Amino acid sequence: MGWTGYYTTESAEEVVRKELTGDSYRPIANRGAKYWVLENTKTGERVAVVALVQRRNGELFTKIVDETMGPYDYGFPLALLAMLTPTEYEYANAWRERVRQHHADKKSKPKLKAGDTVVFATPISFTDGHSHDRLTYIGGFRFRTTGGRTVRLSKSWRTTYDWKIETLETV
């Protein structure tokens, strides 16, 4: 359940592919180095794997988390999810449902463009001690405060926070 470290010049995807390939399972589809579908070579069962990858000081670290462990990552692509076979594992089924819900939530959020004012249901506290419930969207996960400072939210901010775009009707 820990991390495995490698000194390598290979890409993260190549290292993870080697790590996942064995006598019982083989990778049949992936999205980058992170999201994988493995097939049991004996039964044909297909399962999801999330490969956590970090590179530090020339060393590549990997941690393989299969769906039965209930990974705390719900960005698994729906196209890959559709390739999986049914499972009896409670954690896997719960995780698959959370992935579907994550994508449904993400799709239901309004589309943003640079300059939009985003209003959060509860103020967001930043490490400098300031809190804001209204930020101007710059792009990605970057915003500008009413005071003109640039701040960043987590990359998953769209699904982490309850928010809406301020329009003339909401002012």
Count the residues in the chain.
171
Strand ranges of the sheet holding 25-31, from the earlier edge strand across to the other edge: 4-7, 59-66, 46-56, 35-40, 25-31
Average pLDDT, the chain: 91
Q: Is 155 exposed, middle or buried (0-12, 13-18, 19+ CB in 10 A)?
A: exposed
pLDDT of residue 170: 53
Q: 70: Cβ–Cβ under 8 A, 6 or more apart, which residues?
A: 91, 92, 94, 95
47-87: pLDDT as tens digits: 999 999 999 988 999 999 999 998 889 999 999 999 999 99
Are the CB atoms for 34 and 53 separated by under 8 Å? yes
Buried b (16+ CB within 10 A) or exposed e, 18-34: ebbeeeebebeebeebb
C-alpha distances in Å from residue 126, one per residue of 56, 117, 134, 150: 27, 18, 13, 12
The band of 106, judged by pLDDT with boundaries at 50, 70 and 90, is confident
The band of 41, judged by pLDDT with boundaries at 50, 70 and 90, is very high
The band of 160, judged by pLDDT with boundaries at 50, 70 and 90, is confident
